[in-house]
């Protein structure tokens, strides 16, 4: 059995008299939904013998829990190119090219990153759903982090909600950006007349973006963005609102003379693996179209 799919815990004095489901929820942050999944089938053992989650144990006993069962994807796998930049037993990181949709929808039913990842797993004889930690726009390039099982996804989403996952983007804005560093602190909402376009508005959701100017060129500026919140189109909207939209971003007024899509790239992911305590740092180099922008100036 895959050890990365197991929680192994020795009961302590303070655990005596408590049901295992309460111990697991407290010590391992298992959600109610995941606990319900675990309760179906023989997934919990105490000192090597199958038990139910309502069981109570004694200090010194060893509790072993299988946290993720075999699952099948509802997405069709396809044999597509895929640029894997990190993989372990729990997570997969892919450098998504611009123009590729992350997940199938009514407009893009195939050819998506999800189809490619599921196909990659199928070629290895593995079956699992596609569980991205977060998504990026079709025309944004860079890292998409994917959890390999339900528990890994739940735990990383949990620390991401606590701002314990550092996610950084490189972007190129039009003109010479006037500040060296700072924070965009402007709430964002969906424009009333659109289901897609966002705007800064006092009644919007809180949105915070840390920015740093990396290098100014004659016609544009390379910048580094760190997301504190994760609103849809957040960097794009904040840059537009400040008067320096991303190059190529025709949805938000960007100059389209230099590049055919928004010049935005998810460059790095850093976090402490909530299951192993290991520091993980993942980086994706700039894609060719953005690198050409910088080389030509």
DSSP 90-159: SEEEEEEPTT--SS--SS--SSSHHHHHHHHHHHTT-----EESS---TT-EEEEEEESSHHHHHHHHHH
CB proximity list for 218: less than 8 A, separation 6 or greater: 297
How many CB atoms sit inside 10 A of residue 126's CB? 12
Listing from the earlier edge strand, what are the strands of the sheet with 62-66? 6-10, 62-66, 44-46, 49-50
d(CA 203, CA 184): 16
How many CB atoms sit inside 10 A of residue 106's CB? 5
Backbone angles phi, psi at 199, to 5 degrees: -150, 155
- What Rg value do the Cα atoms of the chain yield, rounded? 22
Query: Is the distance from CB of 220 to CB of 249 less than 8 angstroms?
Result: no
Enumerate the β-bridge partners of residue 185: 208
Alpha carbon of 29 to those of 5, 22, 158, 194, 237: distances in Å?
A: 15, 10, 9, 38, 34
Query: Is the distance from CB of 83 to CB of 93 less than 8 angstroms?
Result: no
Query: Which residues have a catalytic role annotated?
Result: 137
């Amino acid at each position: 059995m895959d050890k990365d799919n197991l929680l192994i815990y020795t009961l302590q004095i303070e655990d005596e008299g408590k049901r295992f489901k309460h111990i697991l929820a407290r010590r391992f942050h298992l959600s109610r939904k995941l606990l319900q999944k675990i309760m179906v089938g023989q997934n919990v053992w105490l000192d090597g013998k199958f038990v139910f989650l309502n069981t109570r144990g004694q200090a010194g006993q060893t509790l072993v829990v299988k946290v993720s069962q075999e699952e099948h994807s509802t997405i069709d796998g396809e044999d597509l190119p895929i640029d894997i930049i990190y993989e372990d037993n729990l997570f997969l990181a892919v450098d998504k090219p611009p123009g590729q949709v992350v997940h199938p929808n009514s407009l893009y039913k195939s050819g998506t990153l999800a189809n490619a990842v599921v196909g990659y797993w199928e070629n290895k004889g593995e079956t699992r759903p596609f569980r991205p930690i977060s998504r990026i726009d079709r025309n944004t390039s860079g890292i998409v982090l994917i959890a390999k099982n339900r528990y890994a996804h739940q735990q990383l989403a949990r620390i991401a909600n606590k701002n314990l996952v550092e996610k950084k983007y490189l972007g190129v804005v039009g003109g010479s950006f006037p500040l060296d560093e700072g924070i965009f602190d402007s709430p964002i909402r969906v424009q009333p007349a659109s289901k897609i376009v966002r705007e800064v508005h006092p009644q919007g959701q809180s949105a915070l973006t840390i920015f740093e100017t990396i290098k100014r060129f004659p016609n544009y500026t390379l910048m580094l963005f760190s997301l504190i919140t994760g609103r849809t189109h957040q960097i794009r909207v904040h840059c537009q609102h400040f008067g320096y939209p991303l190059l190529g971003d025709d949805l938000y007024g960007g100059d389209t003379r230099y590049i055919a899509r928004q010049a935005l790239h998810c460059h790095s992911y850093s976090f402490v693996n909530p299951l192993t305590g290991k520091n993980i740092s993942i980086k994706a180099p700039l894609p060719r179209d953005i690198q050409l922008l910088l080389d030509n100036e």
